[in-house]
Amino acid sequence: MAKNIQKTWLTALLAAMAFGCCAAQLGTTEAPPLRVAVFVGRGTRGAGAFRWIEIASRMKNAVMTPVDGVAIQGGALDAADVLVMPGGWSGHEAQDLGEKGREKVRSFVKGGGGYVGTCAGCCLLMESSKGHPDMVHMIPYKFGLGGGETDLSVRFNRRAEELAGIKKGTAFLRYAYGPVPLPSIPVPDSEVEVVARYNGDVNSDGDDARPSMAGQAAAIAGTYGKGRLFVFAVHPEVDPADHYILKGAFRYVTGRELSWDWPQRKRGQLAVGVVSDDSFGVDSARFVQRLVTEGEFDVDPISMKTIESGALRHLDAVVAPGALKSASINKGLYGRNIGRTREFVARGGLIVAWGSAAEAAEKNGIGVKAVTGADEAIAALRAFAAEPVPEPAPLPGKVEKPLKAVVYQDKGGAAISIAAMLAISPEYEVKMLSAADYGNGGLEGADLVVQPGGGARTQYNTLGTNGVEALRRFVQDGGKYYGVCAGAFLAAQVSRPEYPRLGLVPFKGDDPAHYRGSAPILIKLTGEGIDEAFGGSATNRTVLYYGGPAFVEGDFVEDSDVKVLGRYAGRIINTCQPESVEEMRGKAAFVGGRVGKGRIFLSCPHPETDENNHDLVRGGIKFLTGVAPSQVNRDRVRGAVSVRFSVSDKASAQYYLDTLMRDRRIDVHPGKDIHDTTHLDVIVLTDVNSDSAVKLKEFMARGGRVIVMADTKAKRSAAGKIAGVRIVGKYGELIDEILK
């Protein structure tokens, strides 16, 4: 194994020397700092552009310079070794460069410079087309239309390992409406090859013009003249876990070994969001560079989409840099989000803005701290952090006779997001049930049962004969059943003999040959859905699909009246593998109606994962019980400890609902997912395994704290094998440990 690695590195080093890509030798400390230019002109936007500024600013033995089209036209690349072209919109990037700037980019790479691009930065090097004019044509590919946004399977090949040291195999990388590079006319002086291909297909919006993605190029590397390029149709810059791929790209284009540290939130830091919807501009990029390198604040990019999904709930302050276009500010903080922004300011959040961003805030009647630039913005954030924290508004109490909801929490299922929505509302009280509770009278007296996502077959088998019959009888005798994903599968009819079902509704899953994966998908609500469940909701909605059913008609079910309330309008989701799957468009996504004396609502996708779709959850619950849970938002209190709390069993879920969620000193993020830990102070695990130990090491090395709630002998034994964690044996001791 060691010999093979040495051989690979030797091959890469010799290749770098042969092409003359960089005068500095690989790994030598005497090499001068690498000069990295990051394009921040018109067309760059979103988290990807922010991350590139952050990454390049934190590179060791490197100097980052933000550049726009004017700077490149003026010769800025003469003082650069590598140009980074982030994602956004390649057409606007090309326009910002102008003809002179585009020629400067070609000459820079042709003369020996390096180029690393993601998404739009990949498009920019393709052949010009009707929808993408004025491209910097440096690779023999043309633009193929992609569609959707997800973590998509991408397979790196042997050449990726040989050229850049990127391990051969599959990685799940962020994809956001990126290109599908299609082979095109040869380009003089260009010798490139595909080093990664899409290993799946996503077409969430249902556009028939989009080609199949599976098997097409996802990453391309090679030479243009004397220079080197490495471009991605995806976004490996977004998730720190994928940065080994970026390091491989820089290794290839520069011949040098680069590294950078990832920031980690420090206890007590102000949580600051930077609006990143449109072009940063050079001044704004320098401001971001200063924020991330000085490390004074916990900083994260936000956008119209993330604000819609609830990003402001976990922030103390927001900065809107002056270079942002008024239209982008209006869409991001205002427009459809104006209610969320007003709530943010009303609960004591600070908005700092300058230039056109401040003007937009003033026009929308939103309280804003207007400043003249970066220095005043940072001073305003510092002053705000030093102010006394206002007393948070109390959470609402319960109505006199709340409805009783029970939520399944056991192997093969978890619905903590829906449980939290119900538990925090005045109209419902929530009790978590294990599988054993179902067969032991746990459903008695309940008005509503929530059957969650996870694994339908596991849920069925874990419930056992008594539990299954109790659940079926609960519905037929008048109970209300809300099922999501696996919970929807569970209520449907058997379509394959190895997958047992309850058979409550006249629908079954279409059973694709392979697991589809996950991605947000377009759904069109039916007339019955609008009239009976989702009144006032927009007809077309984009909702997260996560391997759930796509319902087709099954056999007749006696004494039932169940209707289709929404259908998939997107076409294909297949994010995991190259094999084709069943077409999704037109199949049922929401169904509901009467079953015996009871009522049932089944959601194939997951609207509970996104605040922007919570009205669909409330509508589904009202469809069942006649009472929609009130929208109650648990916003961050300045100075709160940022905690990821994993829910693994009934006890942990009930503790979260009854205690942790109601303690305003803690800003809690439920879930099992322990990657993306940058903005956390503490991770609390209620179950541990070897995978947990590996992922937590880096978090603890950066200064994060890990607490294991070990209330059984087996958990204590497993936790004792993870160095550096704090073990707590009783839930009553947990909050004190978190707040230490």
Please tell me what DSSP assigns to residue 357. H
The pLDDT tens digits for 678-733 are 899 999 988 876 556 667 888 899 999 999 999 888 888 888 888 899 999 999 99
Residue-level pLDDT at 687: 84
CB atoms within 10 A of CB 372: 11
pTM for the model? 0.92
In the prediction, which pLDDT does 412 show?
A: 61
* Alpha carbon distance 241, 224 (integer Å): 30
> Which residues 6+ apart lie within 8 Å of 286 measured at CB?
66, 374
Name the DSSP class of 612. G
The total number of residues written for the chain in this structure? 740
Amino acid 576: pLDDT: 86
Looking at residue 571, its pLDDT comes to 84
pLDDT for the residue 262: 87
Q: Which domains does the chain have, with CATH numbers?
A: 2-15+34-254 (3.40.50.880), 271-386 (3.40.50.280), 403-625 (3.40.50.880), 641-738 (3.40.50.2300)
Q: Which residues of the chain have pLDDT under 50?
A: 1-28, 674
pLDDT value of position 22: 41
661 Cβ contact list (under 8 Å, min separation 6): 420, 423, 424, 634, 668
Tens-place pLDDT, residues 618-656: 999 999 999 999 999 899 999 999 999 988 889 999 999
The whole-angstrom separation of Cα 442 and Cα 276 is 48
Q: How far is CA 481 from CA 287, 365, 388, in A?
A: 51, 44, 46
Report d(CA 71, CA 284) in Å as an integer: 15
